Structure 1
Amino acid sequence: MNRNPDAEVRNPYLGGLYAPVTDETTAYDLPVTGRLPESLRGRYLRNGPNPVHVDDPAGYHWFGGDGMIHGVRLRDGRAEWYRNRWVRSDAVAGRLGEKLLHGRRHRGLDFAPNTHVQSFAGHCLALVEGGALPYELDPELHTIGPFDFHGTLPGGFSAHPVTDPHDGELHAVAYCPAWPYVQYVVAGRNGCVRRHVEIPVAGSPMMHAFSLTERYVLLYDLPVVFGRDPRDGGAHPRWVPDRPARLGLLPRDGGAAETRWLETEPCFVFHPMNAYQRDDGRITVHLAVYDRYFDRRRPLPGDHLARLERWTVDPVAGTVRRLPLDDRPVEYPRVDPRRLTVRHRFGYVMRERVAGRDTALIKYDLERGTSEEFEVPAGGDVGEGVFVPAAPGAAEDEGWVLAYAYDPARGAGELVVLAAQDFAAGPVARVHLPGRVPLGFHGSWIPDCP
Structure 2
Amino acid sequence: MNDQLDAYWMPFTANRQFKQAPRLISRAEGMHFWTPEGRKVLDGVAGLWCVNAGHARPKIVEAIRAQAAEMDFAPPFNMGHPKQFELAERLVKLTPPGLSKVFYTNSGSESVDTALKIALAYHRVRGEGQRTRLIGRERGYHGVNFGGISVGGMVANRKMFGAMLAGVDHIRHTHDTRNLFTRGQPEHGADLADDLERLVALHDASTIAAVIVEPVAGSTGVLIPPKGYLERLRAICDKHGILLIFDEVITGFGRLGSPFAATHFGVTPDLMTVAKGLTNGCVPMGAVFASQKIHDAFMTGPEHLIEFFHGYTYSGHPLACAAALGTLDTYADEGLLTRGAKMAATFENVVHSLRDHPNVIDVRNIGLVGGIELKPIDGQPGKRAFSVFLDCWEKGVLIRTTGDTIALSPPLIIENQHIDQIIGTISDALKRAA
Shorter-chain TM-score bucket reads under 0.3
Question: So what's the TM-score if we normalise by structure 2?
Answer: 0.26
Question: Whose helix fraction is larger, Structure 1's or Structure 2's?
Answer: 2
Choose between structure 1 and 2 for higher RCO, CA contacts under 8 A separated by at least 6 residues: 2
